[in-house]
Amino acid sequence: MPTVKRRHFLQGVGSTVAAIGLGQTNLFRQAQQFDRVLAQGKPGRKLALLVGINRYTQRPLSGCHTDVELQWELLVHRYGFSPNDILVVADREFSFLNYKPQQPTRQNILEAFEKHLIGQATADSTVVFHYSGHGGLIKDPNPLPYLLTVDFDGNRVKQPNSQGGAGTILPIDYATNNPEETNPIMGRTLFLLTYALAKKTPNITMVLDSCHSGGSFRGNLTVRTVNKENGIPQGQPGAIELDYQKRWLRDLNLEAKFQELRQAGIAAGVAIGSVQYDQLAADARFDGFQAGALTYTLTRYLWQQPVNDAIEAVFANIASRTQEIGKSSLSDQQPLFDVSRDEYRKQPIYLSQPAVPFADAVVRQVSSKDDIQYWLGGVSTRSLTANATGTLYSIVNPKGEEIGQLKHLKREGLRGFGRVRPLPDTKVTEVHY
């Protein structure tokens, strides 16, 4: 007798193929690919560090916690990451975690990267680092002569670094008593950490959903910003940040060639940014929730793919939608990606194939005999708004087999609530991780 349980999935009855624009031939081809992927066996360990910061003292945000949740649900339920191998650092608690996240201070973020990612990765590991929060531009004490922007196709375009700026991500405690000095995490630091991680594994993906994120890949991080003027560097990095970089430069023996490496490209793997170095990223408002325009568009798209397309194909599909969402939030936003080696352009996103079939939603909780709570991460904003009471979803197991139907009753943000309409010999029960 089939059992409806957590980690089962929901697909819109009769609507999934149309929603993602797949013809029957293409769907059949991708389904065959998925079968081949499953037959390849288990990959190495998958590690992720997810950072989300809303509660800044100045200019607080609203969508970064949702971004963390979007990525966590996708990585666990679509890509087969173990919940125990995903570390969340955020300024709130989450119901899906069995621990209280550490506060996203500069020290906690850096220690998490060092211990959870660098400290545990091996040659066959797949690693994802995701940051959602404020980004900024700061005066670089040793700036590169050029900044590189990247177009939708991943082509690099040189631009003079006339302002001498560098990009940063901003931990919750970045501010200091000196208005001309801050303690951010500079793109230079992210480059060094990624370089160190690459000595363990080449399978690295970095996602930055913050303003000026396009510059941080090379140590030049060029709405989610604290800069008063868009594109103008503000202030100097503090001694604590510069000393941290000096330590890594010494440990990695990179003092002599660091600038050359930064100018050449990203340290390793794949880097995904929500905007170019001189643009602002949208903390976008949707129907009942807020999220980063890039994170929501990217994760929703990946829920709907039968098998991962190449990174360059994914970006061709999500870039225009991300721009549309950004414009609706009054932000001119052009997402970008960059790779350390050209062959990564043809690799699947996260350098990893999905572990389960495509879906609109994943079952989170069975609260009673026939009531279910589910996460609607794969449903478009338009469909969320139109998702009326009585909408039917097919309940499928991880093999893609339909085992029942669900009647949608209501929605709170991205959480849905419904009731099972079983097929013959279907029962509903709570099954824990």
Place of tokens 């989300």: 52
Please tell me the pTM assigned to this model.
0.85
Phi, psi angles (nearest 5°) of residue 186: -75, 160
Question: Rounded to whole angstroms, how far apart are CA atoms 157 and 332?
Answer: 18
Mean pLDDT computed over every residue of the chain = 80
Fold annotation for 3-20+358-428:
Thrombin, subunit H (2.40.10)
Q: Between 94 and 292, whose confidence is greater?
A: 94
Alpha-carbon distances of 383 from 153, 367, 379, 389, 419, rounded to whole Å: 29, 25, 6, 12, 19
Burial of 156 (0-12, 13-18, 19+ CB in 10 A): exposed
Query: What tokens appear for 109 in the block?
Result: 């973020």
So where are the chain's domains? Answer: 3-20+358-428, 43-351
- Highest-confidence segment of 22-26, 271-275, 370-374: 370-374
Length, in residues, of the chain = 433
User: Which of the four pLDDT bands, split at 50, 70 and 90, describes residue 143?
Assistant: confident
pLDDT per residue over 321-362, tens digit each? Answer: 766 665 555 455 567 788 899 999 999 989 988 888 888 899
pLDDT tier at 203, thresholds 50, 70, 90? very high
pLDDT score at 272: 87
Q: Are 329 and 223 in contact (CB under 8 A)?
A: yes
Q: Look at residue 429 in the predicted model and tell me its pLDDT.
A: 44
- Digit-coded pLDDT (tens) for 246-258: 999 999 999 999 9
Residue 33's Cβ-count burial label (10 Å; 0-12, 13-18, 19+) is middle
pLDDT at position 313? 86
Cα separation, 211 vs 320, whole angstroms: 18
Q: Which of 18-32, 212-226, 326-340 has the weakest average pLDDT?
A: 18-32
What proportion of the chain, given as a percentage, has pLDDT over 90?
41
Instruction: Report the pLDDT value the prediction gives residue 46, as an integer from 0 to 100.
Output: 97
Q: What separation in angstroms does the CA of 66 have from each of 103, 152, 212, 289?
A: 16, 25, 20, 8
The pLDDT of residue 96 is 92
Q: How confident is the model at residue 147 (pLDDT cuts 50, 70, 90)?
A: confident
Of the candidate CATH numbers 3.40.50.1460, 3.20.20.70, 3.40.50.10490, 3.40.50.300, the domain formed by 43-351 belongs to 3.40.50.1460
